[in-house]
Amino acid sequence: MAGKKVLIIYAHQEPRSMNGSLKNTAVEVLSEQGCSVTVSDLYAMQFKATATRSDITGNLCNPKHFNYGVETREAFRSGNLCKDIAEEQKKVQEANLVIFQFPLYWFSMPAIMKGWLDRVLIQGFAHNYPQCYDAGLLKELLSTLQDKLALLSFTTGGTEEMFSKEGDSGDVKYLLWPLQHGMMHYCGFKILTPEITFAPEYVTENRRKEVLTSWAQRLQNIWNEKPIICTPP
Ligand SMILES: Cc1cc2nc3c(=O)[nH]c(=O)nc-3n(C[C@H](O)[C@H](O)[C@H](O)COP(=O)(O)OP(=O)(O)OC[C@H]3O[C@@H](n4cnc5c(N)ncnc54)[C@H](O)[C@@H]3O)c2cc1C
């Protein structure tokens, strides 16, 4: 859809990985639609994953007892956040849709992506209790008041059967809950159905190509999708 802005937060070390191909597919299909697509390639950027004192460039409110949440909230307000955080916040602010593309690490996202959330989606910018969940500060694109959308696209080592109710890993909805509800929805995003690529290492080349084709087809129609309910299971 021409004019829409998409931000892809991408966490994989290897461009030839399945995650790399899923990311490339999204860039190609969405760009062809006339969307403006920005990729934050976290490993290539060597994105700092740790939430530390150096994220604040000015004086601290309380130098005797460092509180990251309080200090970053105040630094956001006064324009004293370090450059890499401010740049990512600008990309988030402008995006209609944020796609998170990553391999599942320990039932969650890789540390570098979790660090992006810790450092970018800070209080005052993304949430400010009681402005959370449906009232989260990222609930809409300020210029158009359209819903801001988030979509998790991830790969797993385990098969779909392993992530079923009866499988060893348990129902995948339990790991989606903290990611979709606790993180994205908390900040106000509306959530689109996750794109889960199960066990790409253990399927045939043809199957992987089918998965990429199906992802491309889904993306053709992405702007007509309705958000899902992602409250606790
Ligand atoms: C620290 C850590 C923790 C983990 N924790 C979990 C966990 O909790 N649960 C779990 O299930 N898994 C876990 N895993 C496994 C991990 O999720 C998988 O290894 C990962 O998701 C696989 O995706 P990939 O992109 O890295 O695959 P890759 O190995 O990069 O790709 C798979 C195959 O796809 C091929 N490919 C790439 N592009 C294309 C294309 N265009 N067409 C056809 N083929 C292509 C590649 O050549 C490769 O053969 C963990 C792994 C690590 C390292």
**pLDDT (tens digit, 9 = 90+) per residue, 116-147?**
999 999 999 999 999 999 999 999 987 788 89
Helix or strand run (H / E) with residue 41? strand 36-41
**pLDDT (tens digit, 9 = 90+) per residue, 55-95?**
999 899 999 999 999 999 999 999 999 999 999 999 999 99
Is the Cβ atom of 134 under 6 angstroms away from ligand 1? Answer: no
Report whether 112 contacts 122 (CB < 8 A). no
**pLDDT (tens digit, 9 = 90+) per residue, 195-228?**
999 999 999 999 999 999 999 999 999 999 999 9
pLDDT score of 152 more than 90: yes
> What number does the ligand 1 atom closest to the CA of 158 have?
11
Helix or strand run (H / E) with residue 196? strand 195-197
What does the chain come to in residues?
233
| C-alpha 82 – ligand 1 centre gap (Å) | 33
**Complete domains list, the chain, with CATH:** 5-224 (3.40.50.360)
Residue 2 has a pLDDT of 76
Instruction: Look at ligand 1, atom 10, and give the residue with the nearest C-alpha.
Output: 157
Is the Cβ atom of 199 under 6 angstroms away from ligand 1? Answer: no
CA neighbours within 13 Å on the CB side: how many for 229?
3
| C-alpha 16 – ligand 1 centre gap (Å) | 11
| C-alpha 124 – ligand 1 centre gap (Å) | 35
Average of per-residue pLDDT values in the chain? 96
